[in-house]
Amino acid sequence: AMAMSTLSQQPWWMVPENFDTPMVVYLEEEQEEQIFGHNDAHLRCIEVHSQTLIQLESWFTARGQTRVTIVGPPRARQWLMDMICSVGSPDSCIRTRGRKMLQRVQSRPLTEDDLAVPCRVRPDTSC
């Protein structure tokens, strides 16, 4: 299990700050399926493993994108955002890194070590 901060032993969803400034990104259908699985089959395990809540909404844009909203501990949100942006990157090295991150969060809970890796994307940038 992910070590809780020493300040609070409460579950992440009991900490109000974790709901401040949700991260929002828009994904193409193929990218949504690549990350969250067919019919979003991987969504629940990604949420559990990253200690976040992820909302997927079909967004009626011309290209039919999905709006992804992420709440949870800031570092976990940032990690997921970095993973999502990396998976969609035109750069093949970054894409490979993104896929490794995706496999990691699908297969096991993120650790403090995972989250300690500095993120490539800043919170205020979109992919």
Domains and CATH numbers, the chain: 19-113 (3.30.1370.10)
Q: Which residues contact 68 (CB under 8 A, 6 or more apart)?
A: 24, 25, 26, 27, 32, 54, 55, 56, 84
For the chain, percent helix, then strand, then coil, each to nearest 5?
Answer: 50, 15, 40
Q: What is the pLDDT of residues 107-126, one digit of tens each?
A: 999 999 999 876 665 444 45
Query: Cβ–Cβ contacts within 10 Å for residue 88, how many?
Result: 18
Length of the chain: 127
Compute CA distances 4 → 43, 79, 104, 111, 112, whole Å.
Answer: 23, 17, 20, 11, 9
Reported as a single tens digit per residue, the pLDDT across 36-88 is: 999 999 999 999 999 999 999 988 777 789 999 999 999 999 999 999 999 99
